[in-house]
Homo-oligomer: A and B are copies of this chain.
Amino acid sequence: MAQTGRPGPRRSLAESDILAAAVGLLDRGGAAALSMRGVAAAVGVAPNALYTYFRTKTALLHAVTDELLGRVDLDHLGDPTRPWRDRLVRYALDVRSTLLAHPGSAPLLLNSPLDGPHALTAGEALLGVLDEAGLDRADAARASYLLLTYVLGTVAFDVAELEPGTDPLDDGTRTTARRAALTVPAERYPRTAAGIDVIAAYTSTGQYLWGLHRLLDGLDPLRSAE
Protein backbone atom coordinates (compact mmCIF):
# COMPACT_ATOMS: atom_id res chain seq x y z
CA MET A 1 0.00 0.00 0.00
CA ALA A 2 3.05 2.23 -0.23
CA GLN A 3 2.89 5.39 -2.24
CA THR A 4 4.64 5.50 -5.58
CA GLY A 5 8.40 5.24 -5.37
CA ARG A 6 9.05 8.90 -5.06
CA PRO A 7 11.11 10.52 -2.33
CA GLY A 8 9.83 12.86 0.30
CA PRO A 9 7.64 12.41 3.37
CA ARG A 10 4.32 10.67 2.92
CA ARG A 11 1.33 12.91 2.42
CA SER A 12 -0.50 13.52 5.61
CA LEU A 13 -3.87 13.77 3.87
CA ALA A 14 -5.89 11.92 1.29
CA GLU A 15 -7.56 13.87 -1.46
CA SER A 16 -10.86 12.44 -0.30
CA ASP A 17 -10.33 14.06 3.10
CA ILE A 18 -9.91 17.43 1.48
CA LEU A 19 -12.95 16.96 -0.72
CA ALA A 20 -15.05 15.83 2.22
CA ALA A 21 -14.04 18.90 4.18
CA ALA A 22 -14.79 21.10 1.20
CA VAL A 23 -18.26 19.65 0.81
CA GLY A 24 -18.81 20.11 4.50
CA LEU A 25 -17.97 23.79 4.26
CA LEU A 26 -20.20 24.05 1.21
CA ASP A 27 -23.15 22.66 3.11
CA ARG A 28 -22.87 24.96 6.07
CA GLY A 29 -22.14 28.41 4.68
CA GLY A 30 -22.52 27.99 0.95
CA ALA A 31 -19.97 28.61 -1.74
CA ALA A 32 -18.66 31.69 0.06
CA ALA A 33 -17.51 29.54 2.98
CA LEU A 34 -15.54 27.23 0.70
CA SER A 35 -12.19 28.95 1.05
CA MET A 36 -8.71 27.52 0.97
CA ARG A 37 -8.11 28.62 4.50
CA GLY A 38 -11.38 27.15 5.63
CA VAL A 39 -10.64 23.79 4.09
CA ALA A 40 -7.10 23.86 5.44
CA ALA A 41 -8.34 24.57 8.95
CA ALA A 42 -10.93 21.82 8.66
CA VAL A 43 -8.34 19.21 7.79
CA GLY A 44 -5.79 20.63 10.24
CA VAL A 45 -3.08 21.92 7.96
CA ALA A 46 -1.57 25.20 6.85
CA PRO A 47 -3.43 26.86 3.97
CA ASN A 48 -0.63 26.53 1.46
CA ALA A 49 -0.29 22.83 2.11
CA LEU A 50 -3.39 22.32 0.00
CA TYR A 51 -1.49 23.46 -3.04
CA THR A 52 0.40 20.19 -2.93
CA TYR A 53 -2.86 18.41 -3.69
CA PHE A 54 -4.55 20.91 -6.00
CA ARG A 55 -2.61 23.36 -8.04
CA THR A 56 -5.19 26.09 -7.57
CA LYS A 57 -8.50 26.71 -5.93
CA THR A 58 -10.25 26.24 -9.26
CA ALA A 59 -8.79 22.74 -9.49
CA LEU A 60 -10.16 21.98 -6.05
CA LEU A 61 -13.58 23.24 -7.04
CA HIS A 62 -13.57 21.10 -10.15
CA ALA A 63 -12.71 18.10 -8.03
CA VAL A 64 -15.56 18.97 -5.68
CA THR A 65 -18.06 19.09 -8.52
CA ASP A 66 -16.93 15.73 -9.80
CA GLU A 67 -17.14 14.35 -6.30
CA LEU A 68 -20.74 15.54 -6.02
CA LEU A 69 -21.65 14.10 -9.40
CA GLY A 70 -20.18 10.83 -8.21
CA ARG A 71 -22.62 10.75 -5.34
CA VAL A 72 -25.58 10.47 -7.67
CA ASP A 73 -26.76 6.91 -7.94
CA LEU A 74 -26.30 5.51 -11.44
CA ASP A 75 -27.99 2.17 -10.83
CA HIS A 76 -31.40 3.29 -11.94
CA LEU A 77 -30.01 4.62 -15.20
CA GLY A 78 -28.62 1.25 -16.19
CA ASP A 79 -31.57 -0.81 -15.01
CA PRO A 80 -32.78 -2.54 -18.19
CA THR A 81 -36.09 -3.65 -16.71
CA ARG A 82 -37.51 -0.16 -16.77
CA PRO A 83 -38.43 1.85 -19.85
CA TRP A 84 -35.85 4.40 -20.94
CA ARG A 85 -38.03 7.36 -20.11
CA ASP A 86 -38.58 6.28 -16.55
CA ARG A 87 -34.89 5.80 -16.11
CA LEU A 88 -34.07 9.28 -17.32
CA VAL A 89 -36.70 10.84 -15.10
CA ARG A 90 -35.50 8.88 -12.14
CA TYR A 91 -31.92 9.91 -12.73
CA ALA A 92 -32.84 13.53 -13.24
CA LEU A 93 -34.66 13.48 -9.92
CA ASP A 94 -31.67 11.90 -8.24
CA VAL A 95 -29.33 14.54 -9.59
CA ARG A 96 -31.64 17.26 -8.45
CA SER A 97 -32.06 15.97 -4.93
CA THR A 98 -28.34 15.37 -4.58
CA LEU A 99 -27.48 18.88 -5.65
CA LEU A 100 -30.26 20.44 -3.59
CA ALA A 101 -28.81 18.66 -0.59
CA HIS A 102 -25.69 20.74 -1.12
CA PRO A 103 -26.79 24.29 -1.79
CA GLY A 104 -24.00 26.30 -3.27
CA SER A 105 -22.90 23.43 -5.43
CA ALA A 106 -24.81 24.56 -8.50
CA PRO A 107 -22.75 27.65 -9.25
CA LEU A 108 -19.68 25.45 -9.02
CA LEU A 109 -21.06 22.96 -11.48
CA LEU A 110 -21.81 25.61 -14.04
CA ASN A 111 -18.22 26.80 -13.92
CA SER A 112 -16.77 23.35 -14.29
CA PRO A 113 -15.69 21.67 -17.49
CA LEU A 114 -17.47 18.47 -16.40
CA ASP A 115 -14.66 16.33 -17.67
CA GLY A 116 -13.91 14.51 -14.45
CA PRO A 117 -14.21 10.73 -14.20
CA HIS A 118 -17.60 10.77 -12.53
CA ALA A 119 -18.96 13.21 -15.07
CA LEU A 120 -17.68 11.08 -17.91
CA THR A 121 -19.15 7.94 -16.36
CA ALA A 122 -22.52 9.58 -15.98
CA GLY A 123 -22.37 10.89 -19.54
CA GLU A 124 -21.50 7.45 -20.80
CA ALA A 125 -24.45 5.90 -19.01
CA LEU A 126 -26.70 8.63 -20.35
CA LEU A 127 -25.58 7.90 -23.89
CA GLY A 128 -26.33 4.26 -23.30
CA VAL A 129 -29.92 4.96 -22.30
CA LEU A 130 -30.46 7.28 -25.23
CA ASP A 131 -29.03 4.66 -27.54
CA GLU A 132 -31.45 2.08 -26.18
CA ALA A 133 -34.21 4.60 -26.68
CA GLY A 134 -33.47 4.50 -30.38
CA LEU A 135 -31.49 7.67 -30.99
CA ASP A 136 -28.56 7.57 -33.33
CA ARG A 137 -25.11 8.51 -32.13
CA ALA A 138 -25.23 12.17 -33.00
CA ASP A 139 -28.72 12.71 -31.64
CA ALA A 140 -27.87 10.85 -28.48
CA ALA A 141 -24.90 13.09 -27.85
CA ARG A 142 -26.88 16.23 -28.53
CA ALA A 143 -29.71 15.00 -26.37
CA SER A 144 -27.39 14.21 -23.50
CA TYR A 145 -26.04 17.75 -23.53
CA LEU A 146 -29.58 19.07 -23.71
CA LEU A 147 -30.58 17.05 -20.67
CA LEU A 148 -27.44 18.08 -18.86
CA THR A 149 -27.97 21.78 -19.39
CA TYR A 150 -31.60 21.49 -18.42
CA VAL A 151 -30.90 19.65 -15.21
CA LEU A 152 -27.97 21.75 -14.08
CA GLY A 153 -29.39 25.03 -15.25
CA THR A 154 -32.67 24.45 -13.49
CA VAL A 155 -31.06 23.32 -10.29
CA ALA A 156 -28.74 26.30 -10.37
CA PHE A 157 -31.69 28.64 -10.55
CA ASP A 158 -33.57 26.77 -7.88
CA VAL A 159 -30.63 26.91 -5.54
CA ALA A 160 -29.61 30.47 -6.28
CA GLU A 161 -32.15 32.06 -4.00
CA LEU A 162 -31.62 29.65 -1.14
CA GLU A 163 -30.07 31.16 1.92
CA PRO A 164 -26.81 29.32 2.54
CA GLY A 165 -26.55 27.55 5.83
CA THR A 166 -30.23 26.87 6.20
CA ASP A 167 -31.75 23.47 5.69
CA PRO A 168 -33.36 22.96 2.30
CA LEU A 169 -37.08 23.58 2.42
CA ASP A 170 -39.71 21.29 1.01
CA ASP A 171 -41.61 22.32 -2.08
CA GLY A 172 -44.72 23.50 -0.34
CA THR A 173 -43.16 25.93 2.09
CA ARG A 174 -40.80 27.23 -0.58
CA THR A 175 -43.67 27.91 -2.95
CA THR A 176 -45.71 29.73 -0.34
CA ALA A 177 -42.65 31.73 0.71
CA ARG A 178 -42.00 32.72 -2.88
CA ARG A 179 -45.63 33.54 -3.34
CA ALA A 180 -45.56 35.86 -0.36
CA ALA A 181 -42.45 37.64 -1.62
CA LEU A 182 -43.76 38.10 -5.15
CA THR A 183 -45.45 41.39 -5.84
CA VAL A 184 -45.89 42.24 -9.48
CA PRO A 185 -47.73 45.38 -10.60
CA ALA A 186 -50.67 43.93 -12.48
CA GLU A 187 -51.27 46.93 -14.70
CA ARG A 188 -47.79 46.83 -16.15
CA TYR A 189 -47.29 43.07 -16.29
CA PRO A 190 -50.80 41.63 -16.57
CA ARG A 191 -49.86 38.17 -17.83
CA THR A 192 -47.12 37.81 -15.25
CA ALA A 193 -49.51 38.81 -12.49
CA ALA A 194 -52.12 36.38 -13.79
CA GLY A 195 -49.67 33.51 -13.66
CA ILE A 196 -48.28 34.36 -10.27
CA ASP A 197 -49.31 31.09 -8.69
CA VAL A 198 -47.42 29.11 -11.28
CA ILE A 199 -44.46 31.43 -10.98
CA ALA A 200 -44.34 30.90 -7.24
CA ALA A 201 -44.00 27.18 -7.94
CA TYR A 202 -41.11 27.59 -10.38
CA THR A 203 -38.65 26.07 -7.97
CA SER A 204 -40.82 23.07 -7.20
CA THR A 205 -40.30 19.47 -8.23
CA GLY A 206 -43.53 19.71 -10.20
CA GLN A 207 -42.20 22.41 -12.48
CA TYR A 208 -38.96 20.48 -12.82
CA LEU A 209 -40.77 17.34 -13.94
CA TRP A 210 -43.08 19.29 -16.24
CA GLY A 211 -40.14 20.79 -18.09
CA LEU A 212 -38.35 17.49 -18.21
CA HIS A 213 -41.33 15.80 -19.78
CA ARG A 214 -41.74 18.50 -22.40
CA LEU A 215 -38.11 17.96 -23.22
CA LEU A 216 -38.49 14.21 -23.45
CA ASP A 217 -41.58 14.71 -25.59
CA GLY A 218 -39.41 16.69 -27.95
CA LEU A 219 -36.86 13.91 -28.10
CA ASP A 220 -39.40 11.18 -28.73
CA PRO A 221 -39.89 11.71 -32.47
CA LEU A 222 -36.17 11.17 -33.01
CA ARG A 223 -36.41 7.52 -32.05
CA SER A 224 -36.10 5.20 -34.97
CA ALA A 225 -38.30 2.12 -35.11
CA GLU A 226 -36.52 -0.71 -33.38
Contacts and interface: CB of A to CB of B under 8 A. Distances in A.
Interface of A: 106-107, 110-113, 120-121, 123-124, 127-128, 131, 137-138, 140-143, 145-146, 149-150, 152-154, 156-157, 160-161, 184, 188-192, 194-195, 198-199, 202, 207, 210-211, 213-219, 221-222
18 contacts: A110-B110, A110-B156, A120-B184, A120-B188, A120-B189, A121-B189, A124-B190, A127-B192, A127-B195, A128-B191, A140-B195, A142-B198, A145-B202, A146-B210, A146-B215, A214-B218, A214-B219, A217-B221
Q: How many copies does the complex hold?
A: 2
Nearest to A143: B214
Contacts of A199: 141, 145
Contacts of A154: 149, 153
Contacts of A198: 137-138, 141-142
A21 B199 CA distance: 33
A149 B211 contact: yes
A153 B216 contact: no
Contact of A112 (B111, B127, B160, B215): B160
A215 B137 CA distance: 19
A127 B22 CA distance: 41
A185 to B, nearest CB: 9
